[in-house]
């Protein structure tokens, strides 16, 4: 018959119970510590003190709002130029229509491209003004919409690189200032 393997916590073999080290008296349980929010056991790390929410708009967020207004102004200048270009293409297509040998498809493509550019400029201008106006009382949605708008604007202005360089730089700066911790704290603050 085989005996089970002895446990490391059993008394050594051949020793009678009660011999060896004396029994320890019963100790009272340790005093209860308050429950930590990170775990149900005492001694869990306590959370760091939470920073109070800002009551005044941080400088980086103010700068991002100002840059959004500047972007809207640049968009308006681009809108004027695109409308002037559309007028020029329309005038040229009317003059070419009098000639029997001219193909009008190039003018139609040019008009279509300029109308699409005008629509995109109007959308981004309205978005920039609306988002900048909401910085004072907006929440997470304003921050997320600003980030999405800036990313899309940066992607679109990369196609117009030499002309759209200022627009790209301002878009990157707005993106950075809104994404920083102070921007996060500003847009996540409680509003009453």
Q: Is 134 helix (H, G, I), strand (E, B) or coil?
A: coil
pTM higher than 0.75: no
In a domain, 54, yes or no: no
Q: Is 121 exposed, middle or buried (0-12, 13-18, 19+ CB in 10 A)?
A: buried
Residue 120 belongs to domain spanning: 59-187
Number of domains in the chain: 1
Q: Classify residue 42: in a domain, yes or no.
A: no
Q: What is the pLDDT of residue 19?
A: 57
Q: Please list the pLDDT of the chain residue by residue as tens digits (192 residues).
A: 556 676 767 666 665 555 556 666 667 766 665 555 555 555 555 555 566 777 788 999 999 999 999 999 999 999 999 999 999 988 888 887 777 666 778 888 889 999 999 999 999 999 999 999 999 888 889 999 999 999 999 999 888 878 889 999 999 999 999 999 888 888 888 877
Q: Report if residue 167 sits inside a domain.
A: yes
Query: Which residue shows structure tokens 């059993």?
Result: 10
Is 35 contained in some domain?
no
- Using alpha carbons, list the distances in angstroms from residue 92 to 85, 104, 135: 10, 10, 44
Residue 37 included in any domain:
no
């Amino acid at each position: 018959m085989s005996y089970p393997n002895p446990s490391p916590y059993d008394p050594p073999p051949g020793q009678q119970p009660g011999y060896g080290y004396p029994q320890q008296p019963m100790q009272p349980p340790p005093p209860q510590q308050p429950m930590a929010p990170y775990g149900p056991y005492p001694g869990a790390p306590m959370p760091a003190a939470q920073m109070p929410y800002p009551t005044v708009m941080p400088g980086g967020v103010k700068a991002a709002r100002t840059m959004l207004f500047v972007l809207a102004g640049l968009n308006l200048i681009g809108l004027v130029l695109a409308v002037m270009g559309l007028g020029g293409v329309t005038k040229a297509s009317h003059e070419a229509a009098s000639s029997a040998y001219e193909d009008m498809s190039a003018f139609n493509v040019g008009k279509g491209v300029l109308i699409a550019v005008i629509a995109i400029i109007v959308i981004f201008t309205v978005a920039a003004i609306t988002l900048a106006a909401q910085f004072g009382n907006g929440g997470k949605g304003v921050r997320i919409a600003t980030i999405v708008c800036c990313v899309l604007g940066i992607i679109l202005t990369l196609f117009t690189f030499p002309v759209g360089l200022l627009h790209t730089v301002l878009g990157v700066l707005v993106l950075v200032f809104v994404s920083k911790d102070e921007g996060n704290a500003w847009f996540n603050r409680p509003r009453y």
